[in-house]
Amino acid sequence: MDGQEFGGAQSPLRRLKTARLAPYLFVFLWSTGFVGAKYGLPYADPFIFLSLRIFIAAAILIIIARILRFPLDLRKNEIVKSALIGLFLHAFYLGGVFFAISKGVSAGVAAVITSLQPVLVSLLAVNILGEKLRRTQFIGLVLGLIGVVLVLGPTFDSSVSKVGIAAVFVALLGSTTATLMQKKFGAGIPMLAGTAYQYLAAGAILAVGAGVTGGTHIDFTPKFVASMVWLIIALSVGAVLILLWLLNTGSAASVSSLFYLVPPATALEAYALFGEKVNTQGFLGIGITALGVWLVIRKKN
């Protein structure tokens, strides 16, 4: 990320407050993506839905960059790197999740599988990024995984689509790869321009996927439009920019551990919006997950 983007002129106190609030805002926004998918997917095929969403988000970022006079011209290698990150983070991750939900996989099951990302990132980051994993962080990762399973374990069902489950694992590998790539060589790329190129590359791949599979149907109902607007503004612009900023300013393991909080947050939102109840086991899992994340992200004394 370019150091002058989003905060270069802020006071130290304001930057500190922003840094403290950013992880919690990210968790909230990211968790609503599963809810947004549940609202919108009944009215559109998954790949064309995502392609339209991502192209619109790219246009918004380009307009913002123009207004704020942030650079949009990147070197060829930066464009290639941004396109690769976008392929894994948006085409594979989002495409996998949306395809799985369209095949009947519940948002909860998709959330719990993709929340395994911190385990993969933390283990791979040791060799790929040279990051050290403290004992308390390892304990936190294990606790986070246990908590997630407790929250969403009852949602697993033998009738769940096997193709859909496979798609969620593709999404898991996509988000893991994108996180490591962003941390390894994405920090030096201007954030707005880099993200715009990510979206343009991923949107093109998803559009091809929609055409190849014949999934190009969209029914512009009020629910679909509301879902699309929220997913673009809150997720594709807000949450993704926060995620990239967090990756550029923190360790891959610490940032990835935030994904452990997404399934519990999704479960609570599903209860509030759809009446899906959270039992005692679920609340216990939420507490264990929160403890695990705290152990991972807390500063070493």
For 124-182, the pLDDT digits (tens) are 777 676 777 788 888 888 888 888 778 766 666 667 788 998 999 999 999 999 988 88
Flag the least confident range among 37-51, 94-108, 214-228, 279-293: 279-293
Please write the tens of the pLDDT for every residue from 203-242. 999 999 999 999 999 999 999 999 999 999 999 999 988 9
Is 107 a residue whose pLDDT tops 90? no
Angle at 269 between CA 268 and CA 273, to 5 degrees: 125
What predicted TM-score, i.e. pTM, was given to this entire model? 0.79
pLDDT tens readout for residues 4-62: 444 444 444 455 455 678 888 998 998 898 888 888 999 999 999 999 999 999 999 99
Residue 258 vs residue 131, higher pLDDT: 258
State the average pLDDT over residues 64-68.
89
The residue-averaged pLDDT of 87-110 equals 89
- Whole-number mean pLDDT of the chain? 83
Q: Is 199 in contact with 60 (CB distance < 8 Å)?
A: no
What pLDDT, on the 0 to 100 scale, is given for residue 18?
Answer: 56
Note the pLDDT of residue 300: 61
Q: What's the mean pLDDT in 181-204? A: 89
Is residue 2 pLDDT above 50, yes or no? no
pLDDT tops 70 at residue 77: yes
Q: Give the pLDDT confidence score for residue 232 in this predicted structure.
A: 95
Alpha-carbon span 219 to 174, nearest angstrom: 28
The whole-number pLDDT of residue 296 equals 74
Q: What are phi and psi of 218, to 5 degrees?
A: -140, 130
**Would you state the pLDDT for residue 152?**
67
Give the mean pLDDT of 230-256: 84
Q: Using CA atoms, how far apart are residues 141 and 296, in angstroms rounded to an integer?
A: 7
Both structure tokens of 130: 């040279």
Highest mean pLDDT among 204-213, 273-282, 291-300: 204-213
For range 108-112, the mean pLDDT: 78
**Residue pair 269/33 in contact by the 8 Å Cβ criterion:** no
